A = this chain, B = another copy of it.
Amino acid sequence: MEINGVYIEDTFAEAFPIWVSRVLITASTKKWAKIAATEATGFGCSVIMCPAEAGIEKYVPPSKTPDGRPGFIIQICHPKKSELEHQMLERLGQCVLTCPTTAIFDAMGDMAEEQLKVGFKLKFFGDGYEKKDELYGRKVYRIPIMGGEFITEAKFGIKKGVAGGNFFIMADTNATALIAAEAAVNAISSVEGVITPFPGGVVASGSKVGASNPKYKFMVATTNHKMCPTLKNVVEDSEIPEDVNGVYEIVIDGIDEESVKEAMKQGILAATRVPGVKKITAGNYGGKLGKYQIKLHELFE
């Protein structure tokens, strides 16, 4: 299959269930909402070594937020529900409550499968000076702080979402692959319900499970040597085509399979618009590990 002249491999992305929370952070200005959202979602690329997977989903203008202020929706995700609550308490309590003029509201709404009492737990910081209240039709706590009052909704909905949607961009040079990856992330950022948790949304270092080197058997994951351009003529099982010298991966988490699929579709379309992109493929484990198999060709039917 070809799209915009780029070969799309007939393969699938293998993805996994993950618990997803969706939090709206508002602030006096877009700038401070962005600062809080960025801090709260940092160090959140992959649960392989980060304490959570997290990212900014989208900007919400004042006319669409409960308190009429600019905001950003973030997602914090974790395979374990208890650990997700822990991460929400730490990230919202340390990176948003501390950030000037912010407030937090549930953004999962009716999609929620369960409710976590995150606001209820954060409110103890108020030392008894906090107030329970109802604002904008939501049950909130108002916690007195130096910057005024921190408003937090009492409960935050979570649901089972999808982690690890992905595709690989292969191009004539590293720089072409990088520009195409950036274009793909730009496109995905306008898709509802998804995040790209890696730095700038891009993964430069794909990994395989375990190690092939017998001395490194203690490693849980090592470089995906088949996808390394500098090993193209070194390893026998290289999957780098002759005309490819740059590869980047885009990883997507989302609230459901549909949103992850849409993100993959829009991201791939954008990447194929960059001259010099040669091939799009996806990462999987032969279908053995993940619950979801998202076929690239089906995205474009």
Contacts and interface: CB of A to CB of B under 8 A. Distances in A.
B94 A50 contact: yes
A179 B67 CA distance: 16
A199 B173 CA distance: 24
B178 A36 contact: no
A8 interface: no
B70 A204 contact: no
Contact of A61 (B31, B32, B38, B190): B190
Contact of A273 (B62, B125, B212, B276): B62
A126 B205 CA distance: 10
Q: Which of A43, A93, A178, A227 has the most CB of B within 10 A?
A: A43
A98 B199 contact: yes
Contacts of A219: 124-125, 127
A203 interface: yes
Range for the number of chain A residues in contact with chain B: 35 or more
Contacts of A171: 175
A63 to B, nearest CB: 6
Given A51-B51, A147-B205, 19 more contacts: A29-B183, A43-B90, A49-B89, A61-B186, A62-B187, A62-B273, A63-B190, A69-B273, A97-B205, A98-B199, A100-B199, A124-B222, A127-B225, A128-B216, A145-B228, A146-B203, A147-B174, A150-B205, A175-B175
